[in-house]
Amino acid sequence: MAKLFVYMLKEEWRVHSTMFGSISFALFPVMIFGIAFMGSFLLPLFREKVPPGYLAIIIHAIFLLLGIMVGGFGLLGMEVMNRRFGQASLLSYSARSLPISEQEIFCTFVVKDTVYYLILWVMPFVAGFALASPFISVPLSLPLLLLLTLTLSFLTGLALIFFLSTVYARSKRVFWVLFAILLTGWAALYLSTGINAAALFPPLQLLSSFSYATLLAACAVVILPSAFAVMLFTAEYTDTTKRFRNALVPLIKRLSFFPYPPLAAKDLLDLSRSGSFIGQTLFSFLIPLGLLWFLLSVLGRFIPPGDVLLLFAILTGVIASTMYTWLTMFDAFSSYTCLPVSVGTLLKSKICSFTVLQLIPAVFIALVSIASGGAAYLVPALVLCLSVSFYALSVTVWLTGLSPSVLVYDAKVLLSYLVIVGMVLLVLITLAFVNPYYATGSVLLLLPAWLFLKGSYPKWERKDQPVF
């Protein structure tokens, strides 16, 4: 297993370095290190303006969310173990030709991916903060504690989604029963004791007051779901014949006001009939944001609940922009090369399909606003969420074209995205905290979004499209 782990790590490096270039990919953790190092010097300013614990909750929420976004191994099981991705034939694909059980191979794959993301994200971030700590009067023990708590936050998100996605892949009925039990338990705890379960999040408790009992509980939350998920995993999927009515023509008529109704309808039907629509909505949107709200709700102790809702709306908009990845993940341009379809035409059709999918975050924000008692902020939250989503989409299209998932680990591209989107988000968060209704001014982001998209079409028409 150790040899297989090493070979999988080398394989991962070769795949990514081939996609982005060895130097660009190697610079990715260096960039995370630099951002953490330079950002650490802003901490003295934040200490004067932000209540204690606020930044700790935000950072742990980000790493929890990162783990959630990475942890959908259960849904990827069929893809990882049974399919080839483009020209890459992965070691995990050779499950049936190697003298090792499929579960052992898959377990190694999960461990490899976990270590890989820790090296790419967690360790560089903590290392940057540790290097800056002597200059900002922070004891060295804090970076060491952060390395532990951020790692546990990341692994907690990964383990929970790994377990839930595996259960979902095995039995959707069992998944919904389990999901209902978890929600009921959370609500019962709050109603009976008034305790917000998010305040019991083990990594945050470790950061505020270290104890071996809490450390043991935090490790158990990671190990137990992961162990159950590996035991439940199977690479055997029963093929069934599915029959569908001709929904293309009716859907084209409904989308007739779009520039390219047939292509937009094709994208939506692909998502629906492949099962990706429900799976992606659950594990790439609803559950990550549900857990993020679960953690951010602790901020109600420090800032008004309306501000928490608007902060959540901004984060929802950023995550909603990743729906563009759903539409491009398995739809390479090479499939259209024999058709009279240009790159610009495809980009416009994907944006139209993306627009339809924005009904999901709009309904979600409306429900969260009402359920949290923030109905008065419903309009600003909706405007903020959708404006941020379309702005982040336009930057993504301008930087990555039809390959957003492929270019995510190009250090230059990611740094450009963080600067262009991050600066705008900081301004919006500030305005929203000054006056919630200032958030409606975010609708002005549609103008630069339009300009980014307008410049994207000729830009990507001139470039050769990658084929993976």
Side-chain-facing half-sphere of 233: CA atoms under 13 Å: 30
Q: 154: how many CB neighbours lie within 10 A of its CB?
A: 27
Q: Which tokens is 349 given?
A: 């059709």
pLDDT 10s digit of each residue in the chain, 468 long?
778 888 787 777 776 666 556 666 677 788 788 888 888 887 776 666 666 567 788 788 888 888 887 766 555 544 444 443 444 455 655 655 666 776 777 788 778 878 888 888 889 989 999 999 888 888 888 999 999 999 999 999 888 888 888 888 788 888 889 888 888 887 787 677 767 667 788 998 898 888 999 999 999 999 999 888 888 876 555 555 666 677 888 888 888 888 888 888 888 887 777 655 666 676 678 877 877 777 777 776 667 778 888 888 998 999 899 889 888 876 767 777 777 888 888 899 899 889 989 999 999 999 988 888 888 889 999 999 999 999 999 999 999 888 887 666 677 788 888 889 988 988 888 888 888 888 899 999 999 999 999 999 999 888 766 554
For 272, counting Cβ atoms within 10 Å of its Cβ (0-12 exposed, 13-18 middle, 19+ buried), the class is middle
DSSP 392-414: HHHHHHHHHTT-TTTSTT-HHHH
Side-chain-facing half-sphere of 288: CA atoms under 13 Å: 28
Which secondary-structure segment (H or E) carries 245?
none
For 95, residues 6+ apart whose C-beta sits below 8 A from its C-beta are: 81, 102, 105, 106, 235
Is the pTM value of this prediction over 0.85? no
Q: Which of 408, 320, 302 lies closest to 361, judged by CA?
A: 320
DSSP 8-state symbol, 465: P
Maximum distance among all alpha carbons in the chain?
Answer: 67
Distance separating alpha carbons of residues 392 and 424, to the nearest angstrom: 10
List own/partner pairs for 192-195 with CB under 8 A and 24 or more apart: none
Q: Which tokens is 88 given?
A: 């890459």
Under 8 Å between Cβ of 442 and 388:
yes
Model pLDDT, residue 224 = 93
Distance separating alpha carbons of residues 319 and 285, to the nearest angstrom: 7
Model pLDDT, residue 153 = 92
